Structure 1
């Protein structure tokens, strides 16, 4: 007995336009292109057998997608999202891994958990442990160093330095000053191999030393420009020479506020006597063990990352000339480092740190 003749499909102009677009789109899935062609052919009045023969598919396939479109229109041609494989790791197992990571010492006297040791302890795969650690931001293999200042005037010095950053005095220049000592002139034992596609630049791990130099730098916190000078040593004599250089470089009508660390050469009797004779100089000292408060350290990091870490030099003169060239280029388009945290925010963060330390039981 012949099967009943299927009802013809009627398409709106919008549906016809969308189906034609799908059937021609190169980025569409092969299945969506085929379903669109089936519906378009059926809408022209062709039978299921004729459409199947024309498109090289079975009559059952044509019947299925004709019915799907008739019932659900364009959405009926879309693939439904798949549920995926059932979850194998329970919430309790995830919680156990996190608890072990945070609270339990690793086995065999190790200093920290690895994915291998945790997988063995938790009875799951290393990849599962890795996914759990990533999801909760746990990195047992990484440790960061920190140190709390024991300076009895810590609070006062923080407020003084941060106050200068956030509200520089009028008719004055604020300079963050420090020395980067023991900069080594290093040359690799073999030529550096340049960057090529798929291969990074390469250099030997060993090197030849050709001496050291010290760089004294004063960073203008407003403009970002730098006054700098090389000296082969970093005693109070060199510091005094650098102060005189700053005095000559800055217009006389401006007061000078220098932010410094507590290095002994900054506080010798010779320095104090010179400062008494030059009253426009005002020194602001960061707390001990708090070099992060001196913005020039941020500039030294730029110098290290962009110039010193991967450069090679065969003499101190060559090193100093190279650094001077880099500083000259910096000063053509200086970039200030903007301080944003208030003294209260810094002190609140450190207070929370102290609370965590006291509560840790260590």
Structure 2
């Protein structure tokens, strides 16, 4: 098998490079040809080698595949020299980088700093502001490039989270008491069958917003529509007491918060069974003015000797399970707010209580005192890390 090659204007016959395929190489090349996901350029190169191995000349291969002879000769020789690896494109240098590693590091440094620390009148960075800041450093970077760099480093400086440092020196002790009650334990002893745990709180400033146009119900490919304009119909406070282990809810509406409204909620619960004759009823409350401090504890004990008030730590209302019920009320009853007057709000809340009690079950509370200790340990580590970073 030979081919004609022009040398100095004279056609010279030259033997084509012979190819002998191993069984494994042939199987692999045929697989590449058949596979639907193989790039077409790779399929062409595999066909060139297979036809060459069957004894075809470069000219015959070129005619068969509709390519030039030089292409057939190139990939034939590449396979002989390097095997199957020779059929893969060699790595290319590509376009020279526009930005240096220092430019990218500068973006990261700005994103990981607070604007106010550099006398920049911003509360947080955006991609646009970062690109503008880099321009003052003499680096012209597009907003899309800044966004891509930040995404590569999983940085989102425009987002923020807030937190509260633990201020109560007895935070763990107070929180652990609440968590132990949820686990039906008090001062190391299991609660009896005639002992109950109640979570109570107030949800103030519930408005009656009378929409200027009727609310339109949902339809095909259309969500419910609520008019933006409304007339204010006043506001009320919703007080609720939630039995942690039995799930009934006792609620009432008042004009405002205060000792007297909260006392009426307590009377509403403690005047009915099983709480009226219970051995003990634990009332878990936060540090709101209606039930704050030792005075509130004494006031409750004097009114109901079998009632024990337990306060959550300061800034720990999340430990009070009635807040979960309030979130349900907010989502299912009060949003969107469309009530003609406060009487309609009160009626809706009372009716929802009945509906909730009919199907309610205790919340699946799984946060324990052990989880609390683990979390407080992480908080301590976080505070230490911040202090070390500020001192550096």
TM-score, length basis structure 1 = 0.74
Q: For the residues of structure 1 that align with 2:89 and 2:225, how far apart are their CA atoms?
A: 49
Q: For the residues of structure 2 that align with 1:71 and 1:174, how far apart are their CA atoms?
A: 83
- Measured on the aligned residues, the alpha-carbon RMSD in Å equals 4.3
Counterpart of 2:5 in structure 1 is: none
Counterpart of 1:34 in structure 2 is: 44
Q: For the residues of structure 1 that align with 2:93 and 2:337, how far apart are their CA atoms?
A: 54
If asked which structure has higher relative contact order (CA below 8 Å, sep 6+), I would say 1
Tell whether 2:28 aligns with 1:10: no
Counterpart of 1:243 in structure 2 is: 266
Q: For the residues of structure 2 that align with 1:74 and 1:20, how far apart are their CA atoms?
A: 12
CA offset at residue 261 of structure 1? 0.4
Counterpart of 1:292 in structure 2 is: 318
Q: For the residues of structure 2 that align with 1:307 and 1:36, how far apart are their CA atoms?
A: 68
* Equivalent in 321, 328, 337 of residue 356 of structure 2: 328
Counterpart of 2:286 in structure 1 is: 261
Counterpart of 2:191 in structure 1 is: 170
Q: For the residues of structure 2 that align with 1:33 and 1:5, how far apart are their CA atoms?
A: 22
Tell whether 2:62 aligns with 1:52: yes
Greater alpha carbon shift after TM alignment, 338-347 vs 322-331? 322-331
Q: Deviations over 1:329-351 (max 9, x none)?
A: 99456652421564434444454
Contact preservation (8 Å) 1:212, 1:232: no
Contact preservation (8 Å) 2:207, 2:233: yes
Unaligned regions of 5+ residues in structure 1, if any? none
* Equivalent in 174, 194, 203 of residue 157 of structure 1: 174
Contact preservation (8 Å) 2:244, 2:362: no
Q: For the residues of structure 2 that align with 1:138 and 1:249, how far apart are their CA atoms?
A: 56
CA offset at residue 68 of structure 1? 4.0
Count residues with an aligned counterpart: 358
Tell whether 2:134 aligns with 1:119: yes
Q: CA 1:39–1:242 in 2, change beyond 3 Å: closer, same or farther?
A: farther
- The 3-state SS of whatever aligns with 1:2 is strand
Contact preservation (8 Å) 1:188, 1:204: yes
Unaligned regions of 5+ residues in structure 2, if any? 1-11
Q: Deviations over 1:288-319 (max 9, x none)?
A: 33323334334534544566444644444555
Counterpart of 1:63 in structure 2 is: 73
TM-score, length basis structure 2 = 0.69
Q: CA 1:263–1:332 in 2, change beyond 3 Å: closer, same or farther?
A: closer
CA offset at residue 22 of structure 1? 3.2
Counterpart of 1:216 in structure 2 is: 239
Counterpart of 1:282 in structure 2 is: 308
- The 3-state SS of whatever aligns with 2:158 is coil
Structure number with bigger Rg: 2
Q: For the residues of structure 1 that align with 2:39 and 2:219, how far apart are their CA atoms?
A: 40
